[in-house]
Chain A
Amino acid sequence: MAGSRKSSVRGLFADVRYHGFGIIAGLLFLAPLVWSVLVSFKPSVEARQPPLPPWPVDGFSVQSYDNLAQYGAGIWTYTGNSLMVSAATVVASVIVSLFAGYGFSRFRFPFKNALFVLIISTVMIPFQSILTPLFLILTKLGLQNTLTGIVLVYVTLQLPFSIFMMRNAFDAVPKEIEDAARVDGASVLRVLYRIMLPLVLPGVVTVAIFAFLASWNEFLAALILLTDQKKYTLPVLMAAVRSGQFGTIDWGAVQSGVTLMMAPCLILFLLLQRYYIRGLTAGAVK
């Protein structure tokens, strides 16, 4: 009797410790996000004052969002640019890596492995070191200072990882399933669309999330390759907001920008995390 009470006390203690640690870790991760959101709803004047307490004392206000909306060419222009660039990067990365991954996984062609290693090895080149050649190439192509140009750069940077991811995803699908579909009369494209695509969906989602996050948050290439203020994406706008005017920084506008920028990332991740985690671990274990 005494023993069972002792063990139940020990179990309770373990539970408290387990959940306590989880809650503290969760709070640590959430605190900066919550702080940003709370500050973004402070009136402009209050947002510039020392940050404690973090919540709005003089009532909630959307003044910071109004200020941000009037910045430069207007927040909706930049948000539109960012959405367009990110969506195009996601679509192009997914389509190209889907075909490339399928090809590398399933077809035999000369120098296949060498080509694959070559593609993967481009990850080792620091992106900053090729900015100047990229700028020159885009100028030659007439794509400098265009959103299309920046999308091409983002897709190029995203492809090594995406192709690697998709090849692994296709490798994890037993070849016999594809053989069965061929015997059933499906063409190569039909096999890819009807049979393989649903099976590699976690991989596709992972590629899409990575492409979205990378292009949505990318700053340096957008700053260098885009010169027209109206074509800036949100990270470039945020840098401008953060640098302030005559040394005064509108912290409320900065935090409202941060909130605005992180919202789609969080929503996307929360919606797709189930697939995303399966995608990253696919093929790791039988």
Chain B
Amino acid sequence: MTVTSYEKAKIELRDVRKSFGAVNIIHGLDLSIEGGEFVVFVGPSGCGKSTLLRMIAGLEDVTSGDIFIAGRDVTELDPAKRGIAMVFQSYALYPHMSVRENLAFGLEMARTPADEIERQVQAAAQILKIGPLLERRPGQLSGGQRQRVAIGRAIVRKPLAFLFDEPLSNLDAELRVSMRIEIARLHRQLGNTMIYVTHDQTEAMTLADRIVVLRDGHIEQIGTPREVYEDPSNLFVAGFIGSPRMNIVDAVYAGDSRIKVADAVIPLGQVLYGVTAGDGVKLGIRPEHLRVADPGGTALRAKVDFAEYLGSTRYLYCYLPSGEIVTVEQRDGRDFSSGEEIWLHCDPGRLRLFSAGGDRLRAESPAKVASA
């Protein structure tokens, strides 16, 4: 299939499963990615995110289910016939070929005329600013330059969709930030569908139109970065997205829209569905939503264990009377010493509650939750 321009291809997975022998890696996933969308698969090591990407690429067989790219069933097709291009974590450049040959290889395989290959190579080199490097071998390039070439190799094929498999993991922190911005710019410039796998949530949050959070081959949540951060659908997503992690502490539903945490009783302001008074719940609160306040009222008593100074912010690691540790992001510049007793206040609207099993408990009517 020859793609003449960058198209915005929709990608659909229908009940896709993958198993290696008796071990199930991907458990019947359904996912629909709109044309031109930038979707990031994120999850801990071994969650199946790379396997899923490789299944979409055709590098891994699908045990059952179907994959559609631009409305075409590609489940049984070779990688090259799916109209995708992939960028690998280790760059995977051909070490014995020059940059120019690396870029041209895919087009040569597609029997593209030589003048057209040259045109495409020059265009990609211009987009990625690798023109002066065309005659060099990958071994003579820096990590960032190699990753540019790897992206260039993907661009020249004018694919229906780009697949990125942790492309920035091998770069140092500074380069990672600049390459991240370049990838975002590239998406804006080309506008085609991109799927990006990472375990780095900063990359996920900054790049994604939508994030797919995976765990053990299941989709835990699909949503915009804001949705998964502010409205996690379960305890796993709440704990996984965000750095430092969301504080999770044990609490008891005290009835009448109140919960008891450590020795404090906090009013929620809304009726909580799915629990009755006396039920144990998990309370989630982000470090930036806790603030050091005056004693008394609904404030939580805590003892500072140690403080991390990061310039604009300071993280306080504190013990609650229950022995649980909470992290507090503090920006007022005040100093705290180890062992100091402080009082923490939080806005009830920022509290996220989860059942003991880890499901989100919402302060809304069940009908409304279902419709959302």
Contacts and interface: CB of A to CB of B under 8 A. Distances in A.
Given A195-B94, A199-B95, A199-B96, A179 B105 contact: no
A142 interface: no
A195 B84 CA distance: 20
A183 B110 contact: no
B92 A176 contact: yes
Interface in B88-104: 88-90, 92-96
A43 B88 CA distance: 68
Given A179-B59, A180-B86, A185 B110 contact: yes
A204 to B, nearest CB: 13
Nearest to B156: A184
B79 A177 contact: no
Contacts of B109: 184-186, 190
B95 A183 contact: no
Interface string A170-187: 000010110111111110
Contacts, number: 61
Interface residues of A, number: 16
A54 interface: no
Nearest to B96: A198
A195 B96 CA distance: 8
A176 B167 CA distance: 12
B283 interface: no
B86 A183 contact: yes
A183 B94 contact: no
B105 A174 contact: no
B80 A185 contact: yes
A174 B80 contact: no
Give the residue among A180, A186, A190, A195 with the most B Cβ atoms within 10 A. Answer: A180
B61 to A, nearest CB: 11
Contacts of B80: 182-186
A133 B266 CA distance: 90
Contacts of B157: 184
Contacts of A176: 88-90, 92
Classify the interface of chain A: helix, strand, loop or mixed. helix
Contact of A179 (B92, B96, B153): B92
A182 B60 CA distance: 12
B26 interface: no
A183 B57 contact: yes
Nearest to A178: B92
Interface in B215-254: none
Nearest to A175: B92
A258 B86 CA distance: 57
Contacts of B105: 181, 184, 186, 194
B85 interface: yes
B59 A177 contact: no
A180 B91 CA distance: 9
B106 interface: yes
Contacts of A182: 58-59, 78-80
A180 B92 contact: yes
Contacts of A174: 90, 92
A43 to B, nearest CB: 52
A148 B54 CA distance: 46
A182 to B, nearest CB: 5
Contacts of A190: 109
Nearest to B157: A184
Contacts of A177: 92-95
Interface string B56-93: 01110000000000000000001111001110111011
A180 B96 contact: no
Nearest to A108: B20
Contacts of A185: 78-81, 106, 109-110
Nearest to A173: B95
B94 A179 contact: no
A183 B96 contact: no
Interface in A83-99: none
A194 B104 CA distance: 13
Contacts of A199: 95-96
Contacts of A179: 54, 57, 59, 79, 86, 88, 92
Interface in A198-253: 198-199
A183 B84 contact: yes
B78 A184 contact: no
A195 B95 CA distance: 9
6 contacts: A177-B93, A179-B92, A181-B94, A181-B105, A185-B109, A190-B109
Interface of A: 174, 176-177, 179-186, 190, 194-195, 198-199
Given A190-B109, A198-B96, 9 more contacts: A176-B88, A179-B79, A179-B92, A181-B105, A183-B84, A183-B85, A184-B105, A185-B106, A199-B95
Interface of B: 54, 57-59, 78-81, 84-86, 88-90, 92-96, 105-106, 109-110, 153, 157
Shortest 3 CB-CB contacts between residues of A and residues of B: A185-B80, A184-B106, A185-B109
